[in-house]
């Protein structure tokens, strides 16, 4: 029997979650059944989609009940294996939840290349957020020479990577949208975007237009709402819009209406809905590519990291308020960093 510390839901958040919606608990993990793995969790991922999932409004699954952990993904080291293809010492990625040890089903755990370090990369730029960006820029928008790119949530791991990948693929100009001067500064300094517009500042819509005076040929949308409307107003003819996230409505109780379809017709726009799960079969190839770009200095990442399981609720509250910067991770087992 393995006992684990875990953080569980203490009350259902009514809007954006608060740290006080969670409480520390201790649980006995069940003995391993055939096909299962026991892992020690090294690093946890706190993702924006969990903000809607814990309110029962995300396609990835049901909301956790009171007393259950938040179903975060994380990277863990296999301590014990009753699943074919896994041995102690392997590193795997799976839905471990907010706890120090977890039992995973070997059928859905994914072995990772632990030579790509720090391990948190597998949760960010080399993992699902990075693959999301790659699916947008490479597979859907097919970013190419001369593109004029606008990216919302540009300080986040998806948006920040979209802009950098578009640049690698030949884009002429890459502009981000982010909330606040601190995030905007980072988008330019760390991710190397040409410009970044603070959507919390007055007149931001005019600044978007001014930053891309020849129009937007590719917009990556993580937000919806007014940002999408503004991007469409500035879209070039035949512009591509990848719809990837709806941060503007994750904390709403209703689904607001969207843009009038007339704008899509007038712009001859191409709108493409993106769900990263469709691309998971190529995650290993992508991770190797991204690691090489990082090593070559072509791809940068930023993490909002806290140490120790106890730090998770406050960091999650910060994510829900949009005041995180970069990929949000909780490091449970210390790790050397370059």
The region of 13-21, 90-98, 206-214, 241-249 touching its own copies under the rule CB under 8 A is 241-249
Query: With binding defined as CB under 8 A, does residue 270 bind its own copies?
Result: yes
Q: Please report how close the Cβ of residue 52 comes to its own copies at its closest, in angstroms.
A: 10
Query: With binding defined as CB under 8 A, does residue 268 bind its own copies?
Result: yes
The CA angle 110-25-3, to the nearest 5 degrees, is 60
Q: Are the CB atoms for 45 and 61 separated by under 8 Å?
A: no
Query: With binding defined as CB under 8 A, does residue 260 bind its own copies?
Result: yes
204-211 and 225-233 helices cross at what angle (nearest 10)?
A: 40
**DSSP states of 173-234:** EEEEEESSHHHHHHHHHTT--SEEEETTSTTHHHHHHHH-TT-EEEEEESS-HHHHHHHHHT
Q: Which residue in the block uniquely carries the two structure tokens 């999301």?
A: 132
**DSSP states of 125-136:** TTSHHHHHHHII
Rounded CA separation 58/274 (Å): 14
| Strand 110-111 versus strand 195-198 pairing type | unpaired
Taking residues 132 to 171 in sequence order and writing x for each that binds its own copies by CB under 8 A, - otherwise, the string is ----------------------------------------
Residue nearer to its own copies on the CB measure, 143 or 244:
244
The region of 15-23, 93-101, 262-270, 285-293 touching its own copies under the rule CB under 8 A is 262-270
The only residue of 27, 272, 314, 333 in contact with its own copies, by rule CB under 8 A: 272
The only residue of 259, 284, 298, 305 in contact with its own copies, by rule CB under 8 A: 259
| Residues pairing with 37 in the sheet | 81, 104
CB count in 10 Å sphere of residue 235? 26
For residue 30, the SS3 value is coil
Taking residues 170 to 199 in sequence order and writing x for each that binds its own copies by CB under 8 A, - otherwise, the string is ------------------------------
DSSP state of 73: E
The only residue of 275, 280, 292, 295 in contact with its own copies, by rule CB under 8 A: 275
The region of 61-69, 107-115, 257-265, 313-321 touching its own copies under the rule CB under 8 A is 257-265
Residue nearer to its own copies on the CB measure, 108 or 275:
275
The region of 8-16, 33-41, 150-158, 258-266 touching its own copies under the rule CB under 8 A is 258-266
Query: With binding defined as CB under 8 A, does residue 47 bind its own copies?
Result: no
Burial of 16 (0-12, 13-18, 19+ CB in 10 A): middle
Query: With binding defined as CB under 8 A, does residue 276 bind its own copies?
Result: no
Query: With binding defined as CB under 8 A, does residue 267 bind its own copies?
Result: yes
The only residue of 149, 243, 247, 315 in contact with its own copies, by rule CB under 8 A: 243
Q: Which residues bind its own copies (CB under 8 A)?
A: 59, 221, 224, 228, 243-246, 249, 255-262, 264-275, 278
């Amino acid at each position: 029997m393995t006992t684990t510390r875990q953080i569980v839901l203490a009350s259902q958040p009514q809007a954006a979650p608060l740290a006080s919606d969670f409480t520390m608990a201790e649980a006995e993990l069940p003995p391993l059944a055939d096909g299962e793995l026991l892992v020690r969790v090294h690093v946890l991922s706190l993702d924006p989609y969990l903000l809607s999932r814990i309110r029962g409004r995300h396609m990835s699954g049901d909301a956790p009940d009171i007393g259950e952990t938040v179903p975060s993904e994380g990277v863990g080291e296999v301590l014990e294996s009753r699943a074919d293809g896994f041995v102690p010492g392997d590193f795997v990625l799976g839905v471990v939840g907010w706890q120090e040890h977890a039992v995973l089903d070997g059928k859905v755990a994914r072995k990772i290349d632990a030579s790509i370090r720090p391990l948190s990369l597998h949760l960010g730029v080399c993992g699902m957020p990075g693959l999301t960006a790659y699916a947008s820029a490479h597979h859907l928008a097919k970013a190419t020479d001369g593109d004029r790119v606008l990216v919302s949530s540009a300080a986040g791991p998806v948006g920040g990577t979209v802009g950098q990948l578009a640049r690698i693929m030949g884009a002429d100009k890459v502009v981000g949208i982010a909330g606040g001067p601190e995030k905007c500064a980072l988008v330019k300094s760390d991710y190397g975007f040409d410009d970044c517009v603070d959507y919390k500042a007055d007149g931001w819509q005019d600044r978007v237009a001014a930053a891309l005076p020849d129009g937007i040929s590719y917009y990556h949308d993580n937000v919806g709402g007014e940002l999408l409307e503004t991007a469409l107003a500035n879209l070039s003819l035949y512009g591509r819009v990848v719809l990837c996230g709806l941060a503007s409505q994750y904390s709403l109780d209703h689904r607001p209406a969207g843009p009038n379809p007339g704008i899509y017709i007038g712009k001859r726009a191409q709108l493409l809905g993106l769900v990263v799960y469709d691309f998971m079969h190529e995650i290993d190839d992508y991770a190797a590519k991204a690691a090489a770009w990082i090593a070559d200095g072509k791809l940068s990442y930023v993490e909002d990291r806290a140490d120790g399981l106890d730090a998770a609720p406050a960091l999650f509250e910060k994510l829900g308020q949009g005041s995180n910067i970069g990929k949000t991770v909780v490091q449970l087992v210390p790790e050397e960093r370059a």
